[in-house]
Chain A
Amino acid sequence: MKRIVILGAGTAGTIMANHLNHEIDKESWEIDVIDHRQEHYYQPGYLFLPFDIYEPEDIVKHIKDFIPKGVNLINDKAEKILAGEKKVLMQNGDLIHYDILIIATGCNIAPEEVEGMNGKEWRNSVFDFYTFEGSLALRDKLRKWEGGKLVVHITEMPIKCPVAPLEFSFLADSYFKNKKMRDKVDITYVTPLSGAFTKPKATETLSHLLVEKNINQVNDFGIKKVDNENKKIIDYEGREVSFDLLVTVPTNKGDALIERSGLGDDLNFVPTNKATLQSLEHPDIFVLGDATNIPASKAGSVTHFEAEILTENILRYVKGEPLKEEFDGHANCFLETGNGKALLIDFNYTHEPVEGTFPFPGIGPLRLLKESRMNHMGKLAFRWIYWHMLLKGTHIPFVSTTMQMEGKHF
């Protein structure tokens, strides 16, 4: 018996377990999935939790409910990958041999990377919404907050779901309007980028929305430290932004396991071939989801497209065939703009998000890069699709793995 080990049972690991369970010859292959957690978190829900749009139970389920029969779930933390020996050392001391390893350990926030960020104001007036605990603590804070300066901040790129901080700002605007206290809140969006988003056309649309919603923008802000005493963030050029409530997205890093195993770059992301998803260093290691260093968005939708191509490549690898260089960086994200509306953006490595129709060229029904209620329904439906289709590896109807060019206004 040969063995495929999947490290991590989040979005990527769960989809791969389901795909491989269908596709691989079970007479000769065993599939193991390793995760120390019991719960699977629907991370896109962290955006809605602070505003009382979702409840915690909407976004947390048991990992084991999504791992198919026929796949072994090992409930322990991986300590170290011994790539030379094809083994994974577990926290309990077990050594697990693999023939193929799939790294799907995701990424996490690392507030300790910035001086003062997790100082005495952490979860007091400095919050994150990229963790379940952070998002929940922020909900409790917002419920009783009486207003003042709200600063929404990105520390450095890359971060998962790079549009989430913008969405947070838009939803905050709606939230305070609904609470009839928007006049008591001053919202500022602070980013290390030169504009609202990373790609020019979407930046134009999004900057316009920021202005329309009366959200101030501070660009090119390379944070040096959080001053807890005076409640300010300060950048390397000495610029200061003061806050009463800071909602920051700290540096995102791959799991410390990657660092211990000597497999990552300086942010613990694993150097990966961006078209095949094979590790650049070890041919028997494959990587997908937020754990890679590829220049695509770190998003569940991207992970879903990656998984379809990776499954095919693993089948090819097993047969000794050349890998398909097919992944194009395809991302397809709904972006909440507040007041029950959303935008939809669709892009890849080479094509930035543009206007058009989706998924049917010329028809839609979804409009790209335009605010609509239909897109908002799409975003809310994504949670259902996530739990019932995406994790199970079901192909989502009409949505192609690589990006489609028709119906788009380049």
Chain B
Amino acid sequence: MEKIISGKTINVNEEGYLTGFSQWDKTIATEIAKEEGITELGPRHWQIIDYLQDQHKKEIPLSIRKIGKSGVVDIEEFYALFPQGPLKKATKIAGLPKPASCI
């Protein structure tokens, strides 16, 4: 399904995840974050988004447990930054598919 974010048309699935990463950019991330109730993405958010995208590129499956052990962020802070379901929110904002660990 199509969706217009800040003037750009993007394709998302029924849960709002981008269907192709090529359409992702930082403005889109900021807008999706707002829809998810995160009004501003700070430097820590971006570091985590970078990390998730990098892991995804390497085809490493994502899970909260693994992120907690990554040294990038601990689980408590991850929840504080992306409240209520941090992994599914952070991946949506990062333009990635919903991780299998959320399925």
Query: Which residues of A line the B interface, CB within 8 A?
Result: 156-158, 192-194, 198-200, 220, 222, 224, 235-237, 265-267, 293, 295
* Contact call B100/A295, Cβ cutoff below 8 A: yes
| Cβ contact within 8 Å between B103 and A157 | yes
Give the interface centre of B63, B66, B75 by most chain A CB atoms within 10 Å. B63
B64 touches A237 (CB 8 A): no
Report which of A156, A193, A224 forms a contact with B65, defined as CB distance below 8 A. Answer: A156
**B20 contacts partner chain A, Cβ-Cβ < 8 Å:** no
Chain B at the A interface: SS class: helix
- Judging by beta carbons under 8 Å apart, are A194 and B88 in contact? yes
Please choose the segment from B26-34, B49-57, B76-84 that sits at the chain A interface, where 4 or more of its residues have CB less than 8 A away. B76-84
Q: Is the CB of B75 within 8 A of A198?
A: no
Closest chain B residue, CB of each to CB of A158: B101
Chain A residues positioned under 8 Å from B80 (CB to CB): 237
Q: What residues on B are CB-neighbors of A222 within 8 Å?
A: 64, 75, 79, 86
Q: Tell yes or no: B4 within 8 A of A by CB.
A: no
A-contacting residues of B (Cβ < 8 Å)?
14-15, 61, 63-66, 69, 75-76, 78-80, 83-86, 88, 100-103
**Contact present for A237 and B63 (CB under 8 Å):** no
Given B15, B78, B84, B88, which contacts A200 in the complex, CB threshold below 8 Å? Answer: B15
For A113, give the chain B residue with the smallest CB separation: B65
A293 to B63, CA, bound (A): 12
A266 to B61 alpha-carbon distance, docked (Å) = 11
Least CB distance from A160 to B in Å reads: 14
A236→B15 contact, CB < 8 A: no
B102 adjacent to A266 (CB under 8 Å): no
CB A225 to nearest CB in B, in angstroms, measures: 12
Q: With A and B bound together, what is the CA distance between A358 and B61 in angstroms?
A: 34
With a cutoff of 8 Å between Cβ atoms, the chain A residues found around residue B69 in the complex are: 266
Complex Cα–Cα for A200 and B13 (A): 12
